[in-house]
Amino acid sequence: MQDRSFVVKISDRAMSGSVENIGKGLLALGGKGVNSGARSIEAVLHDLLRGVRDDVLLKTQLEPADFEALLKKQVGRDFSLCTIKWV
């Protein structure tokens, strides 16, 4: 199975609490097939976990629709503040 790269973009209207929630959601998916390549997922998500908006490049072996459904379930209503761009 091949890794698919994607970028998580967070809307400019997201408040720091929502950004933290998205970061925590992505971190929780680390054990479910989402990784960051050479650096640890915690290092990649460092700013998001502090509530600072940043684009994040990650990888997954999941199908795009499966990943997006999993992320939506994980972050709840804050998912509407995310845009997933598949590379």
CB 64 within 8 A of CB 4: yes
Q: Is 19 exposed, middle or buried (0-12, 13-18, 19+ CB in 10 A)?
A: buried
Q: What is the pLDDT of residues 31-47, one digit of tens each?
A: 888 999 878 999 999 99
- Give the tens place of pLDDT for each residue, 4-33: 999 999 999 999 999 999 999 999 998 888
Please report the pLDDT score of residue 1 as a whole number: 66
Q: What percent of the chain has pLDDT over 70?
A: 99
pTM (2 d.p.): 0.91
Maximum pairwise Cα distance, the chain: 36
CA distances from 24 to 8, 16, 38, 48, 87 (A): 13, 12, 20, 8, 22
Average pLDDT over residues 37-58: 91
Q: Is the pLDDT of residue 81 over 90?
A: yes
